[in-house]
Amino acid sequence: MKKIVTILGARPQFVKAAVLSRIIKKHNNIEEIIVHTGQHFDSNMSAIFFDEMMIPKPKYNLEINNMSHGAMTGLMLLEIEKVLIEEVPDAVVVYGDTNSTIAGALAAKKMHIKVVHIEAGLRSFNMKMPEEINRIATDRISDLLSCPTETALDNLKKEGYDNLQILVEKHGDIMKDAVSYYGQFSKEKSSIIIDEKLQKNHFVLATIHRQENTDDEKKLRSIFLGLEEIHKTHTVILPMHPRTKAVLNKLSIHPKIHIIEPVGYYDMLELLKNCSMVITDSGGLQKEAFFNKKQSIIARDETEWVELVENGFAKIVGSDTEDMINTFKKYLSSNQDFSMQLYGDLVGEKIYQSIYKLIQ
């Protein structure tokens, strides 16, 4: 039987990987070994998380976190190499743009093991973002690039990938499969709407965590000023990222909005289903909002998901307080049609078939 090793480091990657893991198990002709680097470790990455989400537990947990980018990536490279020597897989599968992603790809490529990059071809064109460096480097050393969108495919064509011996395919966005699957269970698994006393379609879901915002006091103050203004008429609920919490405390900023602790995936799905719109600097949440028929206000200066902006499902406001407030008011009266198919369908099955062909 053929074997693949899947490298994961962040909670969203586990949710996406669960889609592919279920399909691999159904076909029963590839053995999958899961490695958790430990990059994003929190209480939600406990045994309960894996049991409730029906996610296969990792065979290896490297417990590598709380380091600088260089130290973290270097140690991951070392430890993943040991796993690959032990397991001798036919391919290594990596997701997205984290340090775990590039470390897994590098370890495999240096050992002449095929690399599959899921969510390939995304570009923010901002080289100050660690994620941009990770995704560009991972794409270049992969053997199979699974693109979520036509834009991602076009990015790779412009970079000359037609001239490289790399298989480039557009499969769609695997997160769409995840949202559809877990969305069936979220209402029975989560009580967050009742617990937080939220009124359906009368609250805004916000998340702010990117370094470009947390490391810039002016930007951070402007963003939270906008959230506070919106909160005067519509409850703004914000699951607080540890990085954001630490910076706000350091700056003695105490936002007058509804702040809660980080939430699990089922809670996040229920917040998405029941909110009126989303304000975020997260790339993944922009898409999940779309899958749940919600518009997004993007608190960044760019987005990898340009098709959301081009088709009116999202607007980039950066840290501009007035733009955020005006866009919020505009979206309140919006009647956006969400029937457009931007991210494909049955994505996990398509990715599986391509991986199976690659390793034969």
Do both 259 and 351 map to the same domain? no
Amino acid at 283: G
Do both 116 and 197 map to the same domain? no
Q: Does an H or E element contain 12, and which? A: helix 11-27
Instruction: Tell whether 22 is covered by a domain.
Output: yes
* pLDDT (0 to 100) of residue 46: 66
Instruction: Tell whether 217 is covered by a domain.
Output: yes
* pLDDT (0 to 100) of residue 40: 76
Do both 108 and 154 map to the same domain? yes
Residue 101's closest CA among 55, 135, 78?
135
Do both 131 and 193 map to the same domain? no
Do both 229 and 146 map to the same domain? no
Instruction: Tell whether 119 is covered by a domain.
Output: yes
Pairing of strands 114-118, 91-95: parallel
Q: Which residues have a Cβ under 8 Å from the Cβ of 347 and sit 6 or more positions away?
A: 19, 148, 171, 172, 173, 174, 176, 177
pLDDT lower than 50: segments of the chain: none
Residues 83-102 as b or e (16 or more Cβ within 10 Å = b): bbeebebbbbbbbbbbbbbb
Do both 168 and 203 map to the same domain? no
* pLDDT (0 to 100) of residue 41: 66
pTM of the entire predicted model: 0.90
Instruction: Tell whether 180 is covered by a domain.
Output: no
Domain count, the chain: 2
Do both 161 and 28 map to the same domain? yes
The HSE-up count of residue 260 (CA atoms within 13 Å, CB side) is 20
* pLDDT (0 to 100) of residue 45: 61
Do both 65 and 209 map to the same domain? no
CATH number of 261's domain: 3.40.50.2000
Do both 149 and 198 map to the same domain? no
Do both 165 and 195 map to the same domain? no
CB 95 within 8 A of CB 16: yes
* pLDDT (0 to 100) of residue 190: 96
Do both 190 and 235 map to the same domain? yes
SS3 string, 78-108, reads HHHHHHHHHHCCCEEEEECCCHHHHHHHHHH
Active site (annotated) includes residue 209: yes
Instruction: Tell whether 203 is covered by a domain.
Output: yes
CB 6 within 8 A of CB 35: yes
- What is the span of the domain harbouring residue 301? 186-332
Tell me the per-residue pLDDT of 287-323, one tens digit each, with 9 for 90 and over.
Answer: 999 999 999 999 999 999 999 999 999 999 999 999 9
Instruction: Tell whether 246 is covered by a domain.
Output: yes
Q: Name the CA radius of gyration of the chain, rounded.
A: 20
Instruction: Tell whether 178 is covered by a domain.
Output: no
Which strands sit side by side in the sheet containing 114-118, from one edge to the other? 60-61, 30-36, 2-8, 91-95, 114-118, 144-147, 167-170
Instruction: Tell whether 20 is covered by a domain.
Output: yes
* pLDDT (0 to 100) of residue 51: 85
- Given the residues 36, 117, 209, 231, select the one marked as catalytic: 209
Do both 28 and 139 map to the same domain? yes
